[in-house]
Chain A
Amino acid sequence: MDKFRMIFQFLQSNQESFMNGICGIMALASAQMYSAFDFNCPCLPGYNAAYSVGILLAPPLVLFLLGLVLNNNVSMLAEEWKRPLGRRAKDPAVLRYMFCSMAQRALIAPVVWVAVTLLDGKCFLCAFCTAVPVAALGNGSLAPALPAPELARLLARVPCPEIYDGDWLLAREVAVRYLRCISQALGWSFVLLTTLLAFVVRSVRPCFTQAAFLKSKYWSHYIDIERKLFDETCTEHAKAFAKVCIQQFFEAVSHDLELGHAHGALATATAASAAHSPTDGAAEERDKLRGITDQGTMNRLLMSWHKCRPPLHLGQEQPLLSNGWAGAGPRAPRREVATYLSRV
C-alpha cells in the first residue's frame, strides 16, 4: 500500500510532465494521421473549395470532440455541474477550471492538424487555385480572351498534374509554388500565433488570479479523488455484501440439509452454533458492511449521495436525511480517524 502511495505521489508530482507527454503523443498521432491520409483534390471548379475547407475543418472538429470524449474528467465535470445542491455549495470557479484544463488538452490535436495541413500546402492549393493572379504570374495578355467559366475550369486543374492543359496560359509549377508559399506562410503564422497565445495565458495567469487558481486546482482534484474513493468504497461494500449473502445462503442450505438428514439434539446444537458463531473472516466482512445490509438502504444511500452531497466539513454530526430532526438518538462520541483502504 505504501508502495502504491509512493507511486501515486510521484505521478501526481510529475503530473506536469505526464500531461506534457500526453499532449506530445496526441500531436504526433494527429501528424501521423495526416500523413496517412490520401489527399485527393477533385479538380472541378465548384468542388475544390468545398473539399478543401472540409478537409481543413472537419477532422479538427472530430479530433477535438474525440479529445473530450476520451478524457475521463468530462463525466466528472458533467456530474459536478448537474448535481443538486444538497448540503454542499457549488463553486463555478472550480467548474471553469476543470473545463479549461480539459479544453486545452483537447485542442492540441486539432491545432496540429490545421498547422500540418497548411504547412503541407495541398489543401490550400486545391482551394485557391482558381484565384491565382494569372496576369502577374503567367501570360497576362491571353487571360482576358478566355470567358470566366473556361478560365475557372482551366485553373481548377492546377492541383492535378496529369490533366492540366493550361501551360500556354500559366506554368503549373509557378502557380503551385506561389500557392504553397502563401500556404506555408499562413501555416507558420498560425503556429506562431497559437504558441504566443498559449505562452501569454500560461505566463500571465500567475500575475492575476493565483490564489483563486490554487483553490480551484485543489478542489477539482478533490472532487476527482472523492468520486474515485466513493466508487472504491461502494465496490468494497458490494463485495462484502455479496460474500455475506452467499455465506448466509450456504449456511441456510446446510442448516436445512442437517435438519432434514440428522435429527436430534446434536443437529439442533450444531445448527444453532453454526448460526450464532461466525468465523473471524465472516466478522471482518460484516464489519465492512458498515451496517448497510439491505437493498433499500443501499439504494437510499446512493440516492442521497447524488441528491444531497455531504458538506465539506468533517467536524459536524448532523443527521443525513432528515432536516433537523432532534431525536437522533444517543451516539457514541466518535474520533475522526483516517483509515486507509488496505484491503481494497
Chain B
Amino acid sequence: MERFRALFQHFQSSSESVTNGLCLLLAALTIKIYSSFDFNCPCLARYNTLYGLGLLLTPPLALFLCGLLVNRQSVVMVEEWHRPVGQRRKDAGIVRYMCSSVLQRALAAPLVWILLALLDGKCFVCAFSNSVDPEKFLDLANMTPSQVQLFLAKVPCKEDELVRDSPARKAVSRYLRCLSQALGWSLTLLLILAAFLARCLRPCFDQTVFLQRRYWSNYVDLEQKLFDETCCEHARDFAHRCVLHFFASMRGELRAWGLRRDASHLSPEPAVVPPEPPEDPEDPDSGRRKAHLRAICSREQVDGLLSSWYCSKPPLDLTASPGLWGSGLSRRAPLVAPGTTLSQHTDV
C-alpha cells in the first residue's frame, strides 16, 4: 500500500512535470533551431515579403503542431471528447479545461520563435524593406522610383555591391530593426501581462468549478494511464500462463502417448503444476489482484473487456456493485466476496 501510494504520487507529479518538461525542451529546441538557421533574404522585390513573413509564421505553426503532437494529453482529450456516453456522463467543461491546458503548453515554442525573430530583426527588415517610405531618408531623394525600389530590395543584404557601405542602407536597416525590436518587446510585455492577469484573476471567477474540472481532467488522464498499465500487467500474466500451459500440455501429451522415459528416478512425485508462490507479506492485496486477473483468460474475454471499456466506461461511483458494470462480461466469475468490494477497488 505504501509503495502504491508512493507510485501514485509519482504519477501525479510526473504527468504535469513531464508535460512542462517537454514544453521547456521544445522551447530550448526552438532557440537552437533559430540560432543555427542560416537566414538568407533573397533581396528581390516580390520575394522579400514572402520570405520574411513566411519565416515569421511557418515555423511557429510547425512548432505549434509539434507541441500538440508530443503532448499525450491531447490524445486523451480527443478520446474523452469522442467516447460513447455509456454509464458515465460526459462533461464538456472537462474537455474544455484539457483543451486550454494543452493549447497553452503548445503555444510556448511558437511564441519563443516569433519573439526571437522580432527581437533579432532580420525577418522584419527582409519583409518590409520595400514598404519603407523613401521620403524619410534624404539619400534616396535623388533616385528614380524604380531605382529606389531596387535599392530598398537590397537593403537586407549587406554585402551586395549596390548597397555596400551605403549610409542610406544603414539608415533604413536601423529604422526597420528599431521598429522590429519595439514590436518584439511590446509583444513580450503584452503576453506576460496577459499571463499575469489570467493567473491572478482566475480565482475571482468560478473557483469551485475550476477546481472540479482540474480534478476530473487529472483523473481522466491518470485513469487512462492506469488502464494501460493494468492491460500490460494482464498481458504479461496471460502470456506467462499461456506458455506454462503449453509446456504442461506437452508433458501431458507425452504421458498419454507413453513416450516419457522412465522418469521415476528423476523426480519422486512429478508435480503437475508449478507450486504457487507464497503470498508477498508486504503486499497482501496481490492475491486478490491475481484473482481479478485470473478470471479473464481468453481472447474473446479480453476483446469484450476492451470493447466494454471503450463503449461504456464504468460510472464514477465506487460503491456500485461490480455486477452492474459492462454488458459484455456477464460470463465473468465473481471476483471477490461482496463485503470486500470497496477495499478491492481502492487498491486498484
Which residues of A pack against B, CB within 8 Å? Answer: 2, 6, 9-10, 12-14, 16-17, 20, 119-121, 137, 171, 173-174, 177-178, 180-181, 184-185, 188-189, 191-192, 195-196, 198-199, 202-203, 206-207, 210-211, 214-215, 218-219, 221-222, 225-226, 229-230, 233, 237, 244, 275-276, 283, 286-287, 289-294, 297, 300-301, 304-305, 310-315, 318-322, 325, 327-329, 331-332, 334-342
Measured CB to CB, the residues of B under 8 A from A are 3, 7, 11, 14, 18, 22, 37-38, 40-44, 47, 50-51, 54-55, 58-59, 61-62, 65-66, 68-70, 72, 74-75, 78-79, 82-83, 157, 159-161, 225-226, 228-229, 231-233, 235-256, 259-261, 263, 265-268, 270-277, 280, 282-283, 290, 293-294, 297-300, 302-303, 306-307, 309-311
- B277 contacts which of A237, A300, A339 (Cβ < 8 Å)? A339
Query: With contacts defined as CB atoms under 8 Å apart, how many contacts are there between chain A and chain B in the complex?
Result: 248
Contact assessment for A334 and B256 in the assembled complex, using a CB-CB cutoff below 8 Å: no
- A201 CA / B58 CA spacing, docked (Å): 20
In the complex formed, the residue of B with least CB distance to A228 is B239
- Tell me how far the C-beta of B247 lies from the nearest C-beta in chain A, rounded to whole angstroms: 5
Residue A177 contacts which of B42, B248, B265 (CB distance < 8 angstroms)? B42
Q: Are A177 and B303 in contact (CB under 8 A)?
A: no
Write out the residue numbers on chain B whose beta carbons fall within 8 Å of the beta carbon of A291: 250-251, 254-255, 260, 263, 270
Give the residues in chain A near B59, CB-CB below 8 Å.
188, 191
Given contacts A9-B233, A189-B58, A199-B69, contact A301 B250 (CB under 8 A): yes
| Given A314-B242, A338-B237, A195-B62 contact (CB < 8 Å) | yes
What CA separation (Å) do A275 and B262 show in the bound complex? 14
Given contacts A310-B245, A329-B256, contact A297 B250 (CB under 8 A): yes
Q: Given A12-B229, A171-B161, A310-B242, is A20 in contact with B70 using a C-beta cutoff of 8 Å?
A: yes
Known: A206-B75, A206-B78, A342-B277. A287 touches B239 (CB 8 A): no
How far is it, in angstroms, between the C-alpha of A38 and the C-alpha of B272 when the chains are bound? 66
Chain A contacts for B245, CB-based, 8 A:
310, 314, 336
A188 pairs with B55, CB closer than 8 A: yes
Among B11, B40, B243, B307, point to the contact of A229 (Cβ < 8 A): B243
Contact A120 B232, beta carbon cutoff 8 Å? no
Whole-angstrom CA separation of A221 from B237 in the bound complex? 12
Q: Is the CB of B247 within 8 A of A290?
A: yes
Contact A181 B51 (CB under 8 A): yes
Give every chain B residue within 8 A of A9 (Cβ-Cβ). 229, 232-233
Considering the complex, give the chain A residue whose CB is closest to the CB of B268.
A283
Write out the residue numbers on chain B whose beta carbons fall within 8 Å of the beta carbon of A191.
58-59, 62
A-B residue pairs, 7 tightest by C-beta: A291-B251, A312-B299, A226-B239, A181-B42, A314-B297, A313-B298, A195-B65
B259 touches A297 (CB 8 A): yes
Residues in A with CB closer than 8 Å to B290 are 338
Q: Which of B159, B232, B261 is close to A293, meaning CB atoms less than 8 Å apart?
A: B261
User: Given the interface contacts A185-B51, A226-B243, A233-B243, does A286 sit within 8 Å of B266 by beta carbon?
Assistant: yes
- Assess A214 versus B306: contact at CB under 8 Å? Given A177-B43, A225-B236, A338-B290: yes
Give chain B residues whose Cβ lies under 8 Å from the Cβ of A304: 250
CB pair B256–A327 under 8 Å, yes or no, is yes
Residues of A contacting B38 in the complex (Cβ-Cβ under 8 angstroms): 120-121
Please tell me which one of the listed residues B236, B243, B248 contacts residue A230 in the complex, with CB atoms under 8 A apart.
B243
Whether B58 and A335, one on each chain, are in contact in the complex, defined by CB atoms closer than 8 angstroms, is: no
Q: Quick one: which of A12, A184, A199, A210 contacts B40, CB cutoff 8 A? A: A184
* B298 with A12: CB separation less than 8 A: no
Query: Contact: A336 with B251, CB < 8 Å?
Result: no
Q: How far is the CA of A81 from the CA of B267 in the complex (A)?
A: 40
Chain B residues contacting A337 (CB-CB under 8 Å) are 273-274, 276
Contact A331 B40, beta carbon cutoff 8 Å: no
Please state if A233 and B68 are interface contacts (CB–CB under 8 Å): no
Which B residues are CB-close (under 8 A) to A225?
235-236, 239
10 A-B residue contacts at CB 8 Å? Answer: A14-B14, A20-B70, A173-B157, A188-B54, A195-B66, A207-B82, A219-B302, A310-B249, A329-B256, A342-B277
If A313-B297, A314-B241 touch, whether A185 touches B54 (CB-CB below 8 Å) is: yes
Q: Which residues of B contact A211 (CB under 8 A)?
A: 306-307, 310-311
A275 touches B306 (CB 8 A): no
Specify which chain A residues have a CB less than 8 angstroms from the CB of B50 in the assembled complex: 185
On whether A177 and B255 interact (CB within 8 A), knowing A188-B59, A225-B239, the answer reads no
Contacts of A120 in B (CB 8 A): 38
The residues of A that contact B297 with a CB separation of less than 8 Å are 313-315, 336
Q: Which residues of A contact B228 (CB under 8 A)?
A: 12-13
Please state if B247 and A301 are interface contacts (CB–CB under 8 Å).
yes
Residue from the list A13, A294, A314, A325 in contact with B229, Cβ < 8 A = A13
Residue in B3, B65, B233 whose CB lies within 8 Å of A196: B65
Give the docked Cα–Cα distance between A206 and B181 (Å): 43
Contact B62 A192 (CB under 8 A): yes
* Minimum CB–CB distance for A164 against chain B, Å: 15
For the complex, give the distance between the alpha carbons of A342 and B18 in Å.
Answer: 33
Contact of A222 with B238 in the complex, beta carbons under 8 Å: yes
List 17 other contacts, CB 8 Å, given A13-B11, A177-B42, A211-B311: A20-B22, A137-B44, A171-B161, A173-B157, A177-B44, A178-B42, A184-B55, A191-B58, A192-B61, A207-B78, A214-B309, A292-B247, A297-B254, A325-B256, A338-B240, A338-B290, A339-B274
Contacts of B75 in A (CB 8 A): 202-203, 206
Given A192-B58, A275-B265, A319-B256: A339 and B244 interface contact (C-beta under 8 Å): yes
For residue B229, which residues in chain A have a CB less than 8 angstroms away from its CB? 9, 12-13
Residues in A whose Cβ lies below 8 Å from that of B274: 287, 337, 339
- If A177-B40, A292-B250, A338-B237 touch, does A210 touch B79 (CB 8 Å cutoff)? yes
Docked pose: A328 CA to B68 CA in angstroms: 59
Which B residue sits closest to A230, measured CB to CB? B243
